[in-house]
């Protein structure tokens, strides 16, 4: 499959493990606001497992039947970030989940606030359908103007308009910022067989709005406070952003997703040799291979909690925690003890007790090219860069890397 962007292979492999120092540059960005939709620990864990199965199914077969898609009800349980965008000549506003694990952009999840075509809308009569594991939608495809900000306006962007959706609450749809490969097979109709449809970042680049097809994602740790700082999506050049400090380490993108190769250590002990997995803003917890997770739990002393579905540790065990270290592109990215636990102010959201300490990691069955998922728990501590122009993913330290908010 040929993507509409040019893959600079020599550049990717030449700088894969070489950190780049930031320099001053202009960037275009939009704020993203945190939304907590967690009604139980088991719901949260199961939503992540469902999403992992969706990734796994695509990795193995790249096809999920619509029958399977409707087998069981799903609830989109997660800590997510929402971007406000405008669609059409009338600037109709929608609040969309920011998702690196998918690439279609669509609206219509909120039945009381539906898309109204304007003078800029083009109806294609084609059906769009996307499965997220933790939810799905199908509807019709339009082309329309999408306004992310005054400086980030996209003409003729593919927009799905949901006729039916399941698993999405408190949001109007999804802003897909994954690789364009993930749109393969999502469009059915007169354009079939369509290979891919340009994503928002593809079109921003192709229409000359940004000079390089790069998206930077900045999260902040969850505290439950009403005045938490906003996150940020940066389109185009990210070097010099105040959202990170020090250097960026890049590593080649693996698989159709934003996949990376990494190893994991707990303290001085390697518990996962280098393997390929996914970086995903749509998954809240960190998912590790079963053997890796068992080694981690056995060392930390965590005990399974039937109520929350997570593993609980004592205050003494928390004080004895070592760093959980993700080695990516030759650079160590440690999660401090505070970064390894569920935010204690949100214990009630998972059915837990105030003051108790729960580890924010879960086991998953590994398959080829999907051995782990680095979810929001990891991404809230590191600035992440998704570089389509060079087919690579980058990470850098932020002012929140060592925060003790949990």
- φ, ψ (nearest 5 deg) of residue 262: -155, 160
Q: Which residues pair with 260 in a beta bridge?
A: 277
CA distances, 265 to each of 17, 146, 271 (Å)? 18, 43, 5
Residue in 99, 131, 172, 305 annotated catalytic: 99
Is residue 144 annotated as a catalytic residue, yes or no?
no
Region label for 173, one of left (φ > 0), alpha (ψ between -120 and 50) or beta (otherwise): left
306 CB-near residues (< 8 Å, 6+ apart): none
- φ, ψ (nearest 5 deg) of residue 370: -145, 75
- φ, ψ (nearest 5 deg) of residue 306: -60, -30
What whole-number distance in Å separates Cα of residue 290 and Cα of residue 280?
19
- Per DSSP, the residues of 31-71 read EEEEEEE-S-HHHHHHHHHHHHHHHHHHHHTS---HHHHTS
Residue in 57, 181, 256, 280 annotated catalytic: 280
Nearest to 196 by CA among 388, 393, 392: 388
- φ, ψ (nearest 5 deg) of residue 61: -125, -20
- Per DSSP, the residues of 3-33 read -SS---HHHHHHSTT--B-------EEEEEE
Is residue 163 annotated as a catalytic residue, yes or no?
no
CA distances, 312 to each of 44, 108, 297, 356, 373 (Å)? 16, 39, 10, 7, 21
- Catalytic residue set: 99, 280
């Amino acid at each position: 499959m040929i993507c509409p962007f040019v893959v600079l292979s020599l550049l990717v492999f030449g700088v894969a493990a070489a950190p780049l120092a930031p320099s001053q540059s202009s960037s275009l960005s939009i704020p993203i606001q945190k939304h907590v939709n967690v009604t139980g620990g088991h719901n949260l864990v199961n939503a992540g497992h469902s999403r992992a199965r969706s990734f796994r199914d695509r990795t193995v077969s790249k096809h999920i039947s619509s029958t399977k898609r409707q087998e069981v009800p799903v609830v989109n349980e997660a800590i997510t970030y929402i971007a406000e965008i405008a669609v059409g000549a009338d600037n109709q506003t929608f609040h969309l989940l920011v998702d690196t694990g998918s690439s279609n952009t669509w609206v219509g999840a909120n039945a009381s606030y539906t898309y109204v075509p304007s003078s800029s809308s083009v109806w294609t009569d084609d059906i769009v359908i996307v499965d997220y594991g933790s939810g799905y939608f199908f509807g019709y495809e339009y082309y329309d103007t999408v306004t992310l900000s005054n400086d980030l306006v996209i003409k003729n962007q593919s927009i799905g308009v949901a006729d039916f959706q399941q698993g999405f609450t408190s949001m109007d749809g999804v802003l897909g910022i994954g690789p364009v490969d993930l749109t393969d097979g999502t469009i059915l109709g007169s354009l079939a067989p369509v290979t891919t449809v340009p994503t928002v970042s593809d079109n921003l680049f192709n229409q000359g709005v940004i000079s390089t097809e790069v998206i930077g994602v900045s999260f902040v740790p969850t505290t439950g406070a009403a005045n938490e700082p906003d996150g940020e999506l940066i389109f185009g050049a990210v070097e010099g952003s105040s959202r990170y400090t020090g250097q960026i380490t890049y590593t080649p993108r693996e698989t159709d997703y934003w996949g990376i190769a990494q190893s994991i250590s707990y303290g001085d002990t390697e518990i996962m040799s280098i393997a390929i997995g996914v970086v995903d803003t749509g998954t809240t917890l960190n998912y590790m291979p079963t053997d890796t997770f068992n080694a981690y739990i056995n060392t930390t002393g965590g005990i399974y909690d039937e109520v929350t579905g997570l593993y609980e540790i004592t205050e003494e065990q928390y004080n004895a925690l070592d760093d959980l270290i993700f080695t990516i592109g030759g650079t160590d990215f440690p999660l401090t003890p505070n970064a390894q636990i569920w935010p204690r102010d949100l214990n009630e959201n998972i059915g837990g007790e105030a003051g108790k300490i729960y580890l924010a990691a879960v086991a998953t069955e590994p398959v080829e090219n999907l051995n782990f998922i680095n979810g929001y728990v990891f991404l809230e501590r590191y600035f992440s860069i998704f570089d389509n122009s060079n087919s690579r993913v980058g990470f850098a330290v932020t002012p929140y890397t060592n925060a003790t908010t949990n």
